[in-house]
Each structure stands twice: as structure tokens, then as C-alpha cells.
Structure 1
């Protein structure tokens, strides 16, 4: 009986709880929020890999080749009066020959000691023994006649004697060809170290400055640098160079140079040769061959021997041997600005009767001047007085 009541009471409680819940729902009570489980969207099918279309290569515009501007052709300064402009480069010889002799001759009493000093001055300037004796003898005689000697009279006297000592019968002008069918051919020879190739380039400038188109032949095939050097000199004045491979036959190159000069109608063909030692017979024989091969086109009009003025009397032996091999017709004295031995001009001419035609008075491209006796003597006796009539005249000429 007791168990039945218990179950009855439980059932009533359940019914009451259900009734209360229904009432609450009806009155609008919000049911507790129930968060629905997330719904997974169906995954998109995998995309196929993108196919990259290769880009067309950009059109490459070829770069225009760099064209270096051609070097401007230089116009060498005129040769007329060039020695006048370069007179100051003879300052060492001015002191030794010019002012030295004038000072000695100006002494009140010219005794034997004074004449010995005059003689020593001339010998130390490389005038040479024979020429020195002749100059001293004539000065002795003429100073006795003058009696009292003013500086002007002494200067005029010394100028006359130096001019006479420098005078030769041969022409100092560079040769020109007498034939209209071929150019003048000038052969340039010399020993090693005399500055021959550089001088050859400067001679080309002298010719161009005087209105004579020139072609250069690089017959010094033992040194590639010599041909390169000639091309540099030639390019500056718009000339061309004929060269061969290193070690080629120099005579063949010289022959080709003259041949091209004839074909191009140039005025002058200037042939540079390798430096020779005057005591090497084989080298000198080869030089003779170069000249003989050139002469198949016609005679060599001029053979210039380049001498270093600082070598002094040794240059005379060089000149003698070269003259025997190739018949030197003129001398180019280089480095005359660097020595007090300007008397070598007299010695060379007296010994060989070969005129000095050009003198080098510096390292500049136009420092090679045609030799003029009057201008040279005037420069040696320059007294340095800017107000003197001679100086004023020289400045007006320059």
C-alpha cells in the first residue's frame, strides 16, 4: 500500500512539471539557443595548373658601332723663320761660342794667353782643329788691322768669320725631283739612339708645311714600334705609311713605298731605315741594298744622315762611314739645344763637305728647323739685349 502512494506522488510531480513547461512556452519564453553544427561546403575541384605562354622575346635593337672621330689633321707651322723663333734654344752654344769669344776679343790687350783661350773655346765647342786654326789666324790678322775695337765691330768681325767657316758649296735646300712621273725619294739613315725615327716624322712635317704631300716608308722592320711611331706622326698630318710585317726585308718595304708613292702621285716618299752601327759591316751592306732596290724606280734624290749633336767628334766618324755606303747628301743635327758644342756644324761640313740641312732644337713636333747660316750665326752672337737693333729686327721677322 505504501509503495503505491510513492509512485502516485511521482507521477503527479511529472504531470505538474510538464504543465508548467507548456505554460512557459506559450507565454513566449525563448528556448535556449542551440548552435547548429557548421555545415562544410563541398570543396571545389582542384584547378588545373596554369599554362604559362612564353612571352615573345623583345626585339633587340643592335647598338650602333661606336665610331671614334678621326683625329684632326694638324697644320704644321711654316718653316720660314722657324730658326729665328727657336733661337733661344741655342743658349748653351751662345755662351760657349758667341759670348765667350766676344768677351775674349774685347780685352784691351790680346796677348798669346788670350789667343790660346780663344783657340780652346773653339776646340771645346767641337769646331775642329783645322777650322779652329783658320778662324784664329784670320781673327789675329783682322784685329791688328782694326786697332781699337768696339763691341759692334767685334761682333761683326766674328759673325763674318763664323759665316765663312759655315759656308759650303752644296745647296741646303731639300731636294725636289726633276721628273714629273715620280716623287722625290728621301732616304733617312743614322745610328741607334740619334732619334732617327722621331726625326723622320718631323721631316715629314717640314715637307707638309712647305706644301709637299708625303708618303712614309717604314723600312725599319726590326722594331714594330718604329713603324707604329711613324704611323702616329703621319696620321697627324694626313699622310700614309707603307709598312711590312716585323722582320720583313727592309729593301722590299722601301721598294713598295716608292711604288705606292708613284701610284698615289705624292710629292715626296720618305723612307725610314733601321739604326745602324757604323762599325757593323753586315748592317751597312744591308743599307746599301735598300738604296739599290729603291733605285730600280729611279735615283734616290736625297740621303739624310741623322746625327746626335751631343756625340761631338764621334759623329764625324759616323758621317764618314755612312757617306761611303750610301753617299750622304745632307745632315740633320738633332739635340743641338742640349749641348754647348754647336761648332759640330762646322766640323761636319769641313770634314765631309756635306751641308747641314736641318737642325733639331727641342722635343716639340715643329722644333726641327731648316739650317740657315746667317740666322744661326746671329743666334750664336745674340747679346740678349731686348732693345738692340738686331733684337728688334729679329722680333719683327718672327
Structure 2
């Protein structure tokens, strides 16, 4: 199955929930207008409309890598370059939205006047997908601008919502940067079960495919199973995994891994960490110790701190970002497990509140199932739309 097919499956419950909710809201006080032209067509001259196609988006890339830079730039200056597409690829592939849903949207059917009552219902619907109160209000307010009092179908509403969601998320769709500094240290953090180990394996495979030499440090020294799992992923990616005896000090392992990565001339050192709950002060302090120790070898390290988030945790993901930002200076996010809970909206809330780069989303368990984040693709799949 293609990555886009898997994206469809991961967001199916969210889009189905929105579909059912929107249909119920529009049908509540609607008029069946059959094939009447859409509101955007009838009010084209008088009312500004949102065209999803006009919004810029980040092109999907095979690998989340960039050309090296001489030094670690400031966050606002971090460049992003996606891997160029294969010649002829754009012409051969159907649009993402066509691949995701395989159906055509129609603006015909029941329509309802966009009024205060309907806006409140739409806000509640978005909140139910874990989009958060503030972000849901922002989306519906933008959607209503210039259209309040007009009759809209459920498809038109989804198009407007998707356009606003894509606009919110465009600034954070950023491949992970690579720098001239070697070894570039990537610290991977997150709570238990968030998908850190699989994310490290997938990233290592993509970096190696891009011609980079990678070393992995198995910093979760308290669970033998965690080390074994990382070794399996290292074997799949063809990347060496440095380990220490169970119960060893993870900060000491990180220091030794820095030394070995420098001696071997590795381009990247990826350091796994034990799953930490943000309310466990002792474990969080251990994370700050790892950072202090590796900075003795390189004061600029870690050069990237990736926070891996599990979409099924819903709004608790925001609490995790708060906690890890204070302790580890998070530089970017990877979202996993978008399936199973109809909570895909939490990614929109994260983008709106924190503005942290979203480097990738996990779309499966295979080693190549890590897709660069594309805001337009995500928004349209979230809303259950086709291009």
C-alpha cells in the first residue's frame, strides 16, 4: 500500500467523524438545492473565496534531509530543501487527494445558512477531533469571514475548513535540517510508547539512503527489550547501534557515543532516550543530565531535539510539548499513530499553539513508512476531500 493510502487509513476515523457531524449539522436546517451552483461560484465577484489550490504547500520528499550548512543557524533561518522528485513523476501520479479518497466532491445537495448557531455547532465538531478550543474558534471564524449568512453545503464547508487548516500548518511543514557540523547530534525524546524507536529506525534508513553515515546510541538502558528493538531497527537500516549493559547510566553512554561518532567521522549520531512521563521529575532530570554531558563534548549539541508524539493521546500532546520544551529545547516534532481514535485534529492544535516544525508523520510500521509532512495533503485528508 502506498504512503498516501496509509495516510487515508490513518485519518479515516477523523474524516468519517467530521463527515457524519457535518451532514447532521447541514441537514438540521437545510434546503435541498440539487445542482445549484456552489456559493463560491454565485458570489465570485462580491465575496472573496478560499481556493485550496492557491495555497502554497511543501512538496512531499523522499527523505527529510537538506544540504549541509557550515554551522547551526538560528531557528528562523533554518533552510529546508526537499529531495527533488523523479522526472515525470508528477505527470504519472494522480493527485494525493485522488489517491487518498478516490471519490469526487460535489457541492450539490442540502445547504444551510451559515449563522451563529451553525458556527457554534461547527466549533463543537472540530473540538471533538481534539483540535482544541482556540484553534477550532480560529478555523470557524476564518471560514465565516465574508460568508456569514450564505448557504453552504457540507462539501463547501469542508473545503473552507481544509483551506484554513492548511494555512495554519504551512509555516511548520519543515524537513529536518542537516548541518555542516559533524557529528550532528539528534536527541530523540518522548513518553513511553510514543514510537521513538521506530521513528529512529526509519530516519536512520532515510539518512543512510541519502548518503549519510549514521550511528545510533541505545540510551534507554533500563529496558533490555528497548535495546533489542533498536538493534533490530538498526539492522534493517544498516546502521550500527551502540549499547551499554542494562541499568547503565544513559548519560555516560551518550558521552561514549559522542566520542566514537567523532572518531569514526560519522555524519549523524541519533540518541534514543528512555520513555519519560512529563510528570516524573526524576526521569525528566535524567534527560537534562544527558544534555549537559553531551555538551561537554560539543557545546552546540544536541543540534536537533525531536519530540515524538502519539496522536492517540489527544490534547495531552500539548502538555508533553510544554514539559519537554522546558527541559530539552525541542526543535521539531514527529507525529505517530494517527489511526484509531479520530483525533487527527491535535496536530492542527499543536501547529497553531507552538509553531514548532513538524518534520514527518508516521504512517505505518514498515521502515519506509515515515512521510514528510505536507499541510495541504493532511488538511484535505483530514476533511475527507479530493483535489
Partners of 2:248 and 2:339 in 1: CA distance: 36
- The correspondence of residues 16-95 of structure 1 with structure 2, limited to 5 A, is 82-83=3-4, 86-95=7-16
Q: So what's the TM-score if we normalise by structure 1?
A: 0.69
Q: Which has the higher contact order (CA 8 A, sep 6+)?
A: 2
Query: Which digits, 9 at most, give the CA deviation of each residue in 1:309-355, with x for residues without a partner?
Result: 11111121111011100011111211112221111101222332322
3-state secondary structure, aligned to 1:295 = helix
Which residue, 161, 165, 181 being the options, matches 1:162? 165
Partners of 1:99 and 1:185 in 2: CA distance: 46
3-state secondary structure, aligned to 2:148 = helix
Q: Are the counterparts in 2 of residues 90 and 361 from structure 1 also a CA contact under 8 Å?
A: no
2:151 maps to 1:230: no
Q: Are the counterparts in 1 of residues 139 and 164 from structure 2 also a CA contact under 8 Å?
A: yes
Partners of 1:84 and 1:307 in 2: CA distance: 21
- The correspondence of residues 283-362 of structure 1 with structure 2, limited to 5 A, is 283-298=283-298, 299-362=301-364
2:146 maps to 1:142: yes
**Closer, same or farther in 2 for the Cα pair 1:144/1:329, shift >3 Å?**
same
Q: Are the counterparts in 2 of residues 98 and 380 from structure 1 also a CA contact under 8 Å?
A: no
**Closer, same or farther in 2 for the Cα pair 1:218/1:350, shift >3 Å?**
same
Partners of 2:137 and 2:112 in 1: CA distance: 22
Q: CA deviation at 1:274?
A: 0.6
Q: CA deviation at 1:149?
A: 4.7
3-state secondary structure, aligned to 1:144 = coil
Q: CA deviation at 1:275?
A: 1.0
* Count of aligned residue pairs for this structure pair: 302
Find the counterpart in structure 1 of residue 31 from structure 2. none
Partners of 2:294 and 2:19 in 1: CA distance: 43
Q: Are the counterparts in 1 of residues 21 and 125 from structure 2 also a CA contact under 8 Å?
A: yes
Gaps of 5+ in 1: 1-76, 391-398
Q: Are the counterparts in 1 of residues 197 and 230 from structure 2 also a CA contact under 8 Å?
A: yes
Tell me which moved more, 305-314 or 99-108: 99-108
- The correspondence of residues 166-245 of structure 1 with structure 2, limited to 5 A, is 166-168=169-171, 172-179=174-181, 182-245=182-245
Find the counterpart in structure 1 of residue 112 from structure 2. 108
Partners of 2:20 and 2:263 in 1: CA distance: 53
What is the Cα-based RMSD across aligned positions, in Å? 2.5
Partners of 1:251 and 1:218 in 2: CA distance: 11
Q: CA deviation at 1:221?
A: 0.7
3-state secondary structure, aligned to 1:337 = coil
Q: Are the counterparts in 2 of residues 190 and 307 from structure 1 also a CA contact under 8 Å?
A: yes
Q: CA deviation at 1:150?
A: 6.8
**Closer, same or farther in 2 for the Cα pair 1:94/1:152, shift >3 Å?**
closer
3-state secondary structure, aligned to 1:86 = helix
Find the counterpart in structure 2 of residue 131 from structure 1. 135
Q: So what's the TM-score if we normalise by structure 2?
A: 0.71
Q: Are the counterparts in 2 of residues 187 and 302 from structure 1 also a CA contact under 8 Å?
A: yes
Q: CA deviation at 1:155?
A: 4.8
3-state secondary structure, aligned to 1:279 = coil
Q: Are the counterparts in 1 of residues 311 and 337 from structure 2 also a CA contact under 8 Å?
A: yes
Gaps of 5+ in 2: 27-109
Q: CA deviation at 1:84?
A: 6.7
**Closer, same or farther in 2 for the Cα pair 1:156/1:216, shift >3 Å?**
same
Q: CA deviation at 1:239?
A: 0.7
Find the counterpart in structure 2 of residue 46 from structure 1. none
Find the counterpart in structure 2 of residue 32 from structure 1. none
Partners of 2:208 and 2:384 in 1: CA distance: 31
Tell me which moved more, 264-273 or 214-223: 264-273
**Closer, same or farther in 2 for the Cα pair 1:183/1:102, shift >3 Å?**
farther
